[in-house]
Structure 1
Amino acid sequence: MKKPNLRADAANILLSVLEKGQSLRDTLPAAQEKHQDKDKAWLQEMVFGVLRQLPLLQYWLRQLLDKPLKGRNKVAEHLIVLGLYQLAFSRVSDHAAVSETVAACPTLKVPGLKGLVNAILRNFVRQKLATKKPENAQILSGLPNWLFQQISQHYPEQSEQLIHSMHNKAPIWLRVNQQQCSVKQYCAELEQQQIAYQISEQHPDGLILQRSCDITSLPGYDKGWFAVQDGAAQLAARLLSPQQGESILDACAAPGGKTCHILELQPGLKRCLALDVDQQRLLRVAENLHRLGHNADLVTGDASDTNSWWDGVPFDRILLDAPCSATGVIRRHPDIKWLRKASDINELVALQAKIMDALWPTLKSGGHMLYATCSILPQENGQQIGAFLSRHQDASVQKIPQGNVNNHPGRQILPGEQQMDGFYYCMLLKS
């Protein structure tokens, strides 16, 4: 069996994301399966790195490549960009970066381009282009121009720190399943295995690991003692505040982290319905519920088409984690900024409004809807809520901790704040 080539696999992943619009969630794991653990980590580090620095890498490439490669040769362009990243940002020696990158050409079925790849990478080293960066702020930001402009417009005083945080490596957050194990007990287990962690004062169930690790090797994984969930996402269930005997809807529930947390906080619910439009993703919800020892009603359905799944019995509380641009989680998913387009935002805003309007009649009078996104764009967040309130006279905003600052509805969390992802929450009360 032919040995897999790391750099060829990285180039193919970049081709899939940047030319074919496929997500890393669909392409990276399949490529990693062919490699040992050390190489799996290297592959992710390189692909993430290229996607984070893409505008700068393309700026350099334009100085070295006379004209873009086309057709089946296009993959070599992504291989060259990978080589540039190694030379400029990685610990790989110049000699190894050049020789190993060139050696990937036959695997990519472009053996005739070995000379071109070699010449471009050697010219990059010889001209010391890694030290020659443009003054263009958008290129240096690592963001597509549309997103750079959005951040500059909406966060003029915080844009530099915000962009920096978007490209930092995200920490691993755990949520201890206190139906199975107390936080104190779990901390003792981690200490026994000499696994370093931090406690977050704002997250009663949360821990932050100091180093990356194989999650399945952590104590109690098979026993359901914990789940992996960012600190911002951990706020959802506690803000929703489910009470005994209530009926709860978790709309757009996959992969089920918030559903499980709701059940951990209040196992005495009358009903917990996890709804998602994607049946395959709903299987992930079922797997997570099973591992953590919870039960919920799983329904495949479109949240904006309540006639297809709602039985007419109103809910006490609704968590709507709405489809969004995911601009708050780019540090975890750097492909998002290249898969999203400026034109997507208006479509997402329209979809969010459609879902909110559809779900509002399913909520009891006196009930609460917690609207959430992992976006940092006001169009999807505060402005969306403002528009909703103008359409629904029986809706009002209920203040949440650290929210409703300067008369803006809800709470906007920016990437890196208290080590969390970017997130938005707003609690709506139905009169």
Structure 2
Amino acid sequence: MAKTNDRGFENREIILDVLTEVLENGSFVHLVLNQALQKYQYLDKPNRAFITRVTEGTLEYLIQIDYIINLYSKTRISEMKPLIRSLLRMSVYQLIYMDRVPDSAVCNEAVKLAAKRRFQGLKGFVNGVLRTISREKASLVFDTPSLAYSIPQWLYEMWEKRYGSEKARIIAASFLKDSPTWVRCNMSRADRGEIIASLERQGVSVEECPGLPIMLSIRGYDYIEGLEAFLKGLIQVQDVTSALVGEAVSVKEGDYIIDVCAAPGGKSLHLAEKLRGTGMVEARDLTYQKAARIEENRLRCGYQNMKTVVWDALCLDQDACGKADVVIADLPCSGLGIIGKKPDIKYNMTWEKLKELAALQRDMLSLVWQYVKPGGMLIYSTCTIDAMENEENALWLRERFPLEPVDLSQRLGRIVQADSLKEGYVQFLPGVHSFDGFFISAFRRVG
């Protein structure tokens, strides 16, 4: 099998194409990168790891990288050819943040790539900028938190105003740290010990989650689809905070549950398991593509008490009104709590988009609460840390509809302690807590 450095040029070509697609065409990095890794499955684990690290790392540090390039280039990065811009960005990431990659190799490979992509006339420019940065990198200083943590200034200031300087710094820093993949055990198919043994047989490093035995953190695997435990439906990729949605709900056998924006289906699968083969979980989402992802996971995990439905949450389903024991409304949001997993989020979000998303959530909530039967539960959750989408929308719900908050203080175990739990909600903050940024609020329909 070829070593990483033997395939260095091919790896960098793949990275260049992924980054250009993401940064110039606005595609989602997790989708484009996964497609590339699927296409080049013949690459071994070290090569795949290199591609992933440089791609994601370049996006994580993009603000810092652009600042560095503009310091040492006579041509502003905004004025460069798109391919050259991506090439310099990925190369600067390697120069600054990857000690094991020789600077000379980074510069030489970048020049070769420029030539192969028919930019022979810019080889000297690429070489000059990169070699200057290589010489001067020890003297670089990032004198603002926004620059130090590669976070847009407006976003950092919003967190600082909301959470204070110390928490804003912790949140921003957390997005640059390596984090494990969390998976939830499918206890209907195997016990936790069997699942852990299966993972460890394939060389996966496994740690259990204190306070939530169904959750495991895993590291050191190549790709998730290659794990026996995944293929057999013994595990589902899901963050701890997302799994807590299922823990917040008191389900009983025979319940009818609607998950209105369910893809990829983690919460629906969790609730189907808790129903022990009884009742029905109806997992809905907007498109056939999203529904197909849910159905794929349902079939892999083997749940018969769950079905997938294509439905727009902005369209009222009259037939469902007053029928559901539980409604899960994990709605489209800004995703500011998962920037560590999807770094392109921080460059695509704006204050105007935040307001539009908060309004969209209210439009959906004004419809879907009606599916809850009197005495039933509504869970409203998001993977963001924006108060406008979270606490403010939860208060809006409570004030306008026959819904009362549900005390969560005895439902989430030892994972989190917060005064707000008694008021029916909790906000997880990246870095402050050990998991994704996430918001959960719980209501009971009165009547």
TM category (shorter chain) comes to over 0.9
Aligned-partner SS, 2:182:
strand
Q: How many residues align?
A: 426
Are the equivalent residues in 2 in contact too, given 1:167–1:330 (CA < 8 A)?
no
In angstroms, what is the RMSD of aligned CA positions? 2.2
In the alignment, is residue 239 of structure 1 matched against residue 244 of structure 2? Answer: no
In the alignment, is residue 299 of structure 1 matched against residue 309 of structure 2? Answer: yes
Which of 177, 181, 184 in structure 2 is aligned with 1:175? 184
In the alignment, is residue 386 of structure 1 matched against residue 395 of structure 2? Answer: yes
Q: 1:343-387 CA distances to partner (integer Å, 9 max, x unpaired)? A: 210010001111111011111111100111000111111111112
Structure 1 unaligned segments of length 5 or more: list them. Answer: none
**Amino acid aligned to 2:189:** Q
Aligned-partner SS, 1:419:
coil
Are the equivalent residues in 2 in contact too, given 1:243–1:269 (CA < 8 A)?
no
In the alignment, is residue 73 of structure 1 matched against residue 77 of structure 2? Answer: no
Q: How does 1:274-353 map to 2 (within 5 A)?
A: 274-295=283-304, 296-307=306-317, 310-312=319-321, 314-353=323-362
Shift of 1:64: 1.6
Which of 376, 380, 383 in structure 2 is aligned with 1:367? 376
**Amino acid aligned to 2:309:** V
Q: 1:132-173 CA distances to partner (integer Å, 9 max, x unpaired)? A: 123122111211122112211111131111111122122111
Are the equivalent residues in 2 in contact too, given 1:165–1:415 (CA < 8 A)?
yes
Residues 359 and 67 (structure 1 numbering): CA distance in 2 closer, same or farther, change over 3 Å?
same
Are the equivalent residues in 1 in contact too, given 2:322–2:374 (CA < 8 A)?
no
Work out the CA distance in 2 between the residues paired with 1:270 and 1:277: 23
Aligned-partner SS, 1:275:
strand
In the alignment, is residue 250 of structure 1 matched against residue 226 of structure 2? Answer: no
In the alignment, is residue 29 of structure 1 matched against residue 44 of structure 2? Answer: no
Residues 15 and 130 (structure 1 numbering): CA distance in 2 closer, same or farther, change over 3 Å?
farther
Which of 18, 21, 35 in structure 1 is aligned with 2:23? 18
Match of 2:445 in 1: 430
Match of 2:134 in 1: 125
**Amino acid aligned to 2:425:** G
Residues 242 and 109 (structure 1 numbering): CA distance in 2 closer, same or farther, change over 3 Å?
farther
Work out the CA distance in 1 between the residues paired with 2:424 and 2:376: 18
**Amino acid aligned to 2:426:** R
Shift of 1:53: 1.0
Match of 2:413 in 1: none
**Amino acid aligned to 2:140:** K
Match of 2:426 in 1: 411
Work out the CA distance in 1 between the residues paired with 2:421 and 2:242: 23
Shift of 1:405: 2.7
Match of 2:3 in 1: none
Shift of 1:419: 2.9
Are the equivalent residues in 1 in contact too, given 2:332–2:357 (CA < 8 A)?
yes
Structure 2 unaligned segments of length 5 or more: list them. Answer: 1-6, 410-416
Shift of 1:229: 1.4
Residues 252 and 125 (structure 1 numbering): CA distance in 2 closer, same or farther, change over 3 Å?
same
Q: 1:272-304 CA distances to partner (integer Å, 9 max, x unpaired)? A: 111100210110100100010113221111112
Aligned-partner SS, 1:167:
coil
Residues 130 and 57 (structure 1 numbering): CA distance in 2 closer, same or farther, change over 3 Å?
farther
Shift of 1:223: 2.1
Match of 1:357 in 2: 366
Higher deviation after alignment, 153-162 or 185-194: 185-194
Work out the CA distance in 1 between the residues paired with 2:148 and 2:361: 32
Q: How does 1:45-194 map to 2 (within 5 A)?
A: 45-68=53-76, 73-90=81-98, 91-126=100-135, 128-156=136-164, 157-191=166-200
Higher deviation after alignment, 183-192 or 16-25: 183-192
Work out the CA distance in 1 between the residues paired with 2:283 and 2:28: 25
Residues 214 and 265 (structure 1 numbering): CA distance in 2 closer, same or farther, change over 3 Å?
same
Work out the CA distance in 1 between the residues paired with 2:172 and 2:229: 36
Work out the CA distance in 1 between the residues paired with 2:321 and 2:390: 28
Work out the CA distance in 1 between the residues paired with 2:35 and 2:138: 32
Work out the CA distance in 2 between the residues paired with 1:22 and 1:235: 30
Match of 2:386 in 1: 377
Higher deviation after alignment, 362-371 or 236-245: 236-245
Shift of 1:410: 0.6
Residues 21 and 189 (structure 1 numbering): CA distance in 2 closer, same or farther, change over 3 Å?
closer
Residues 235 and 304 (structure 1 numbering): CA distance in 2 closer, same or farther, change over 3 Å?
same
Are the equivalent residues in 1 in contact too, given 2:277–2:303 (CA < 8 A)?
no
Residues 264 and 106 (structure 1 numbering): CA distance in 2 closer, same or farther, change over 3 Å?
same
In the alignment, is residue 265 of structure 1 matched against residue 270 of structure 2? Answer: no
| Identity in percent | 28
Aligned-partner SS, 1:287:
helix
Higher deviation after alignment, 405-414 or 21-30: 405-414
Shift of 1:40: 2.2
Are the equivalent residues in 2 in contact too, given 1:328–1:415 (CA < 8 A)?
yes
Q: 1:314-358 CA distances to partner (integer Å, 9 max, x unpaired)? A: 111111111111111111111111122222100100011111110
Work out the CA distance in 2 between the residues paired with 1:318 and 1:39: 43
Are the equivalent residues in 1 in contact too, given 2:181–2:237 (CA < 8 A)?
yes
Are the equivalent residues in 2 in contact too, given 1:23–1:339 (CA < 8 A)?
no
Task: Return the TM-score normalized by structure 1.
Answer: 0.93
Shift of 1:250: 0.8
Shift of 1:258: 1.1
